[in-house]
Structure 1
Amino acid sequence: MPGPRDQVDQGVQEKPLRLATLPRRRLLALGGAAVATALAPVAAAAPVSAAPPRTDPFTLGVASGDPLPGGVVLWTRLAPEPFAPTGGLGFVSRPVRWQVAEDAGFTRVVRSGTATARAEYGHSVHVDVRGLRPGRVYWYRFRCGGHLSPVGRTRTAPAADATVRSLRFAVTSCQSYTDGFFTAWRHLAAEDLDLVFFLGDYMYEGAVNSTGGDRADTGLRLPEIFQLATDTLDLYRLRYALYRTDPDLRAAHAAFPWVPTWDDHEVQDNYAAGVPRFDISAEDFLVQRANAYRAYWENQPLRRPRQPAGAGMPLYRRLRFGDLATAHVLDTRQYRSDQACGDGVKPDCPDRHDPARSLLGADQRGWLLDGMGRSGTRWNILAQQIIMTELLYSGRFDMDKWDGYPVDRQAVLDTAARVPGTVVLTGDIHFNYAADLRADFRQPGTPAVGVELIGTSISSAGDGSDTTPALDRQRKDNPHVLFANAQRGYVRCELTPDALRADYRVVPYVTRRGAPITTRASFTSDRDRPGLAPA
């Protein structure tokens, strides 16, 4: 059992998957060879070869993530030929040396070892380094044969009982490779940050037939993943390989530790637990989801306890940063009830208010509410996927967002009203919003109980614009929304014991290279009197 100093990175490793079986989408009874395939253990381990790859195997870069006071996860994936089957390495595992140093020149190496890039896991490497000093910057690298990886920079979390004066982080999400360049990542890599929260839609399951803009054509052509019960693992792996070949994304991964979570496109747009968007059988969808979850874990800096088991993957978890902040990283896809009222943007209906429906699932909801109340830190950060604030669309609600699950939302907001310092970080929607969270959104004069920072996409939906008529209408219909913007970029944040500052960093275009970065708007909020104000 974890001790008092290990109250971080705790999720639901032992909890089974619970499938939603609501009538909107046709579901068949579970059973048959497809589900057996989805839930079967992986194939026998591949043999390990010490023969070095003939060309550079580190084409997909390096990454680190989920920092603890004494450790961090290091990641790489060997792929000398990223778009070839098995990355050009065959079904043979490879030994990989790793080093962690106190300096970029590696004259003071403090930890080192050998890991195995297992073929059955896409030749990915996850090293859970422990025994490091809290709150320190480190550099790391890998070696395979005569090939040396790029150098990554990471940082451990402060000690759980440390007095922390500042935490700097970015809010990021949604990077469609075919919609434009990842220029925002290049600018983000030059920021002064402690970590990056990535809040979903790391890649997209749609067809890849062209690269978009003036990107160099890779020659990769991939079908949309939505009705395939076999071979989906390779299709997901190829998408991650495509994204990881982007130099700006690799630079951002190498610059800071990341705390990632998924949304829907890592599997299938708008899915809900075991309910697919498309009219396919539950058996086939669980195969697809199992492969998607496995490819996700292979390509993210996550610890081995997060590794998927069959069709489920225990992703929600908690990280602590001294006495300043606790980050509760949520999963709003795997356990949700099916969307209410027929899904989409719809008028209100009784199903939306059914207390039996849940966005988080009973276990995760209890874990979150208890964790918020017991965190013992100045701030509670909810790092999650979909917009929590009420956002009316001419009197209608988007049933895929928290608006479609008001019972769960009310439980979170009621807890925030009792526990000062709630900051919700959100992705998904491809717009920038800044909003005050209220226990009752129909009472605009009541005090805010927390704030929500909704970040735009890195590239998804193309260039965007500063504003649109729809955003102007939303501002009028939703007085708790203080800012709305439709450009691309990220949100740069700083927490101190008493205040939050958020800078909305945007680029004017993504469909061609070289976009500059500017700060479109800035807001502050006091911990004890929450509510966003222009900075």
Structure 2
Amino acid sequence: MFPPRNRRNGNPDNNPSAAGPVSRRGFLGGMAGVGAGAVLLGAGTAAGPAVAAPSRRVTDPFQLGLASGDPLPDGVVLWTRLAPKPLDFDGGMPGRIVPVQWEIALDEKFGKVVKSGTERALPEEAHTVHADVRGLEPHREYFYRFRVGGEISEAGRTRTAPAPGTAPELHFAFASCSNWEQGYFTAYRHMAAERPDMVFHLGDYLYEYAAGENGDVRTHAGDEMNELGEYRQRHAQYKTDGDLQLAHAISPFIVTWDDHETDNNYADLVPENDDPDQGNGSREEFAKRRAAAYQAYWEHMPLRRFRKPVDTNLPLYRRFRYGDTATFSVLDSRQYRDDQPYNDKSQVSGPDQWKTDMLGDEQHSWLEKGFDESKSTWNVVPQQIYFASMDEVEGEDPGGYNDGWDGYRASRDRILGYVEEKGIDNVVVLTGDVHKHWVNDLRRDFENPETPIVASEFVTTSITSNGDGTGTNDPGAVITAENPHTKYHCDRRGYVSCHVSKDRYVADYQVVDYVSRKDAPLRTDASFEIEAGTPGVRKR
């Protein structure tokens, strides 16, 4: 057990607003912040190579908070990054190994510590920590914290997954698209107030654009990211946000990426453009840019060490079984896809939409195997991009959103065809990307509303991207007429909160009416449910 510590006075610009409904200390009231005194980084011991003596003193190395992620029935990943100067490319850290202690307890006062250990924070990994804790009990709440020298982090809460053979009700949230320049991350604070079992982040966790290029509520640090130091700086800037820190501190995150963590609308090793100033001048240059983006992403997310990138690749698709209630197959729809058809122009349709592959054969086969082996009631597919047809063209032309699954119709049909032909029940797709709330029933033939419903899709709006939004629930006459599978639309910011049991899946569409100012209240705009064994979504 770590020794007692003094309460730290945090930077008010990096903490949740006092006017808001929740703060981290409100949740974890028994746990003080880190000590106010300076810490000698590098103190202590660690297994493996000798740790070099430090050359300087720094204070508050935990300015980026902490996180947990990828929960299993017996374990979870604990994450932090040492960064006393968050916006420096090196975080203000010395170029040497620093030992970081961690402990995990049954109580928020850490009177019942059940596991502890020491990780080596390496300079070549931005002094991040990815402690893979095992030997925990299933479906149990735990509290964790870190120590380096005399400094102790604030504490976080996490929860393991339920064991096979059990079927508890699950409560989780999913979110996407948080743009620093376009608003305040108030929705994350409201999400934390729900204390979900876990949070799925479905991509666009951050945006790559240069300072001032993509909004005027707040300002990015630096130019458009294309080198490792720049990606590290941008990840660090986002993680100084107090509302995001709070969400990470309250619940484990299961993350996947979309495009903006690397480059807008990239596809495998094909960048958005051929601008050499953005690192896109050639396939070889973009491969270096992607490798830097993937390295920084792994460093700053609560992912296991074996997922660290190799060359330009990061193995991100993975599966989580939450007892017999739900199995979650998390997809990666960026790393393996073919280039978008028709030069990525939206609402242009044709045969090329059937010649492209979204996932690659290996990931497709992995998903099918997961469906076959699932013993859970619900087969949930968290992924990045709009899965249903989005037809914005009047008449027989099916149109299509070509960066989404409309541009990869053969891949979508392979999934829905497998679900239909194999009789896979209760398939639910979770989606981000499009900055609006949507609900869709999924058919193999979206042009024929008489064909069977084989799955459903819940789409979350953004945390801030596209600003406040219009507030309308009307997507327009053409979309309404051409997309009878679409059941709901809302142009506000927020997230989706889900309660899932063996009998039903309930999705509450949470919204904040503005992000251009702080402290927007939360409201539920609509709720939908699916009954187990009965395809199709209905409004509650």
Are the aligned partners of 1:290 and 1:311 in contact in 2 as well (CA < 8 Å)?
Answer: yes
Select which of 226, 245, 253 maps to 1:258. Answer: 253
Cα offset, 1:290, TM superposition: 0.2
Q: Structure 2 vs 1, CA of residues 419 and 308 (structure 1 numbering), >3 Å: closer, same or farther?
A: same
Question: Equivalents in 1 of 2:452, 2:175: separation in Å?
Answer: 28
Amino acid at match of 2:472: T
Cα offset, 1:244, TM superposition: 0.3
Q: Structure 2 vs 1, CA of residues 77 and 525 (structure 1 numbering), >3 Å: closer, same or farther?
A: same
Are 1:371 and 2:374 counterparts?
no
Are 1:449 and 2:454 counterparts?
yes
Cα offset, 1:469, TM superposition: 6.4
Amino acid at match of 2:127: H
- Who is 1:243 aligned against? 238
- Who is 1:125 aligned against? 129
Unaligned runs of 5+ in 2: 1-48, 275-280
Cα offset, 1:448, TM superposition: 1.4
Deviations 1:22-77 (A, max 9, x none): xxxxxxxxxxxxxxxxxxxxxxx995446784210000000000000100000000
Question: Equivalents in 2 of 1:128, 1:242: separation in Å?
Answer: 25
Question: Structure 1 runs of 4+ off > 6 angstroms?
Answer: none
Q: Structure 2 vs 1, CA of residues 374 and 63 (structure 1 numbering), >3 Å: closer, same or farther?
A: same
State, as a whole percentage, how many aligned pairs show the same letter: 47
Select which of 144, 147, 165 maps to 2:148. Answer: 144
- Who is 1:89 aligned against? 93
Cα offset, 1:450, TM superposition: 1.1
- Who is 1:389 aligned against? 388
Cα offset, 1:373, TM superposition: 1.7
Are 1:485 and 2:490 counterparts?
yes
Secondary structure of 1:82's match?
A: coil
Secondary structure of 1:85's match?
A: coil
Q: Which one has more relative contact order, counting CA pairs under 8 Å at least 6 apart?
A: 1
Give matches, 1:324-339, under 5 Å.
Answer: 324-339=325-340
Amino acid at match of 1:411: R
Question: Equivalents in 2 of 1:297, 1:48: separation in Å?
Answer: 25
- Who is 1:276 aligned against? 271
Amino acid at match of 2:264: D
Are the aligned partners of 2:325 and 2:501 in contact in 1 as well (CA < 8 Å)?
Answer: yes
Q: Structure 2 vs 1, CA of residues 488 and 472 (structure 1 numbering), >3 Å: closer, same or farther?
A: farther
Cα offset, 1:320, TM superposition: 0.5
Deviations 1:270-321 (A, max 9, x none): 0000111111200000000000000000000000111100111111001111
Is the deviation greater in 408-417 or in 177-186?
Answer: 408-417
Cα offset, 1:124, TM superposition: 0.4
Amino acid at match of 1:383: P
Q: Structure 2 vs 1, CA of residues 295 and 379 (structure 1 numbering), >3 Å: closer, same or farther?
A: same
Amino acid at match of 1:241: A
Deviations 1:95-143 (A, max 9, x none): 1110000000000000001111111100100000000001100000001
Give matches, 1:335-484, under 5 Å.
Answer: 335-354=336-355, 357-394=356-393, 395=397, 396-417=399-420, 418-467=423-472, 470-484=475-489
Are the aligned partners of 1:69 and 1:134 in contact in 2 as well (CA < 8 Å)?
Answer: yes
Give matches, 1:128-277, under 5 Å.
Answer: 128-161=132-165, 163-209=166-212, 215=218, 221-225=221-225, 232-277=227-272
Cα offset, 1:192, TM superposition: 3.5
Amino acid at match of 2:344: D
Question: Equivalents in 2 of 1:345, 1:59: separation in Å?
Answer: 41
Q: Structure 2 vs 1, CA of residues 250 and 376 (structure 1 numbering), >3 Å: closer, same or farther?
A: same
Are the aligned partners of 1:49 and 1:94 in contact in 2 as well (CA < 8 Å)?
Answer: no
Are the aligned partners of 1:410 and 1:439 in contact in 2 as well (CA < 8 Å)?
Answer: yes
Are the aligned partners of 1:388 and 1:401 in contact in 2 as well (CA < 8 Å)?
Answer: yes
Question: Equivalents in 2 of 1:192, 1:472: separation in Å?
Answer: 38
Deviations 1:449-504 (A, max 9, x none): 11100000000111112227654532222011000111000000011112110000
Question: Equivalents in 2 of 1:153, 1:245: separation in Å?
Answer: 19
Secondary structure of 2:265's match?
A: coil
Amino acid at match of 2:316: L
Question: Equivalents in 1 of 2:358, 2:57: separation in Å?
Answer: 46
Question: Equivalents in 2 of 1:469, 1:427: separation in Å?
Answer: 19
Q: Structure 2 vs 1, CA of residues 269 and 191 (structure 1 numbering), >3 Å: closer, same or farther?
A: same
Deviations 1:425-446 (A, max 9, x none): 0000101001111122122133
Are the aligned partners of 1:52 and 1:146 in contact in 2 as well (CA < 8 Å)?
Answer: no
Are the aligned partners of 1:77 and 1:299 in contact in 2 as well (CA < 8 Å)?
Answer: yes
- Who is 1:285 aligned against? 286
Question: Equivalents in 1 of 2:309, 2:479: separation in Å?
Answer: 39
Normalised by the size of structure 2, how large is the TM-score? 0.86
Cα offset, 1:210, TM superposition: 8.1
Normalised by the size of structure 1, how large is the TM-score? 0.87
Amino acid at match of 2:435: H
